[in-house]
Amino acid sequence: MRPQAAVLGSPIAHSLSPVIHAAAYAHLGLDWSYGRVELQPGGFADFVNGLDDSWRGLSVTMPLKEVAAECGIPDEDVRLTGVANTVVFGEQRRVYNTDIAGLADALAASGLSGLRVATLIGNGATARSALVALARGGVRLVEVQGRNPERLAAFREWAERLGVEVQPRTLGAPLDPASELLVSTVPSAALEGRLDSLEVEYCPALRGVFDVIYHPWPTPLAERAETAGRVVGNGLDLLVYQARHQVRLMTGRDVPVEVLVSAVRAVTEAGVGS
């Protein structure tokens, strides 16, 4: 029986995870298949429980990361965030959060390390993973922007357990002048009409902007940041680096990140998945 894996989420047709994992399997000499499955949270448990022994793992994207956290034995990062993006099958079903390590790797590769102050847009599942990555990288003050005051307050209470001071702000507020990094975890539509007020161009300490979106790319925020001469990271960087950790968890073997980057570059330059 041919081993298989897949990425689950909605929408999922644009996902480049199959390209990345296929490149990893080819490099490792593994005859595994990897597909896409369109799935909503209500169907997640039945889908996972119905899989046969040929399944080795699942990549999980929005809106399934929170429900995935409850479908197996969690690692430390899943327990911390309540968010999982990886399911690994074996004697026991285990769930992991590789977004944290993936974002840390992507930021380091972009030269965005040694930061103390950051701005985080959003307070959902991806934002929780981002904040943990920032905290472990040494960030101690995070301005968190969102629309719902109650959710911002809950996020602040959770974040303070990590030793991070959180300053809640309304979505689209001008950046803290001391902010060295802006991480956006929201769809581009959420920032429509708010980019002027963010004042990315005028934040004196800002070194870089990381937008977790990669389709479509570039986002208006990324274009603005690039025009302002900031370092710009995107969701493809996160996707590649977190996928490297997923491959290791699913196969027990490592793949050079350059193999995965080359595979993504080949399809994006050809206009596939963009």
pLDDT at position 274 is 31
Give yes or no on whether 4-97+244-269 and 101-236 have one common fold: yes
One-letter amino acid for residue 208 of the chain: G
Residue 174 has what pLDDT? Answer: 96
Q: What is the mean pLDDT of the chain?
A: 95
Tokens found for residue 201: 């161009």
Cα 169 to Cα 179: distance, rounded to the nearest angstrom: 13
Two structure tokens written together for 38: 């369109």
Cα gap 55→45, rounded to integer Å:
15
Percent of the chain with pLDDT strictly greater than 90: 94
- pLDDT of 38: 98
Q: Of 217, 190, 212, 208, which Cα lies nearest the Cα of 274?
A: 217
Phi, psi values for residue 174, rounded to 5°: -55, 145
Q: Which CATH entry fits the domain spanning 101-236: 3.40.50.2020, 3.40.50.720, 3.40.1410.10, 3.90.330.10?
A: 3.40.50.720
Domain borders along the chain are 4-97+244-269, 101-236
Q: Which two tokens stand for residue 241?
A: 């680096």
Class of domain 4-97+244-269: alpha beta
* pLDDT reading at 271 higher than 80: no
What are the residues whose beta carbons fall under 8 Å from the beta carbon of 230, sequence distance 6 or more? Answer: 200, 206, 207, 208, 209
Indicate if the pLDDT at residue 273 is higher than 50: no
- Residues with catalytic function: 65
Location of structure tokens 């993504």: 264
In angstroms, how far is CA 259 from the centroid of its own chain?
20
Question: What are the tens digits of pLDDT across the range 160-206?
Answer: 889 999 999 999 999 999 999 999 999 999 999 999 999 999 999 99
Residues 120 and 112: their CA atoms lie apart, in Å, by 15
The confidence score (pLDDT) of residue 140 equals 96
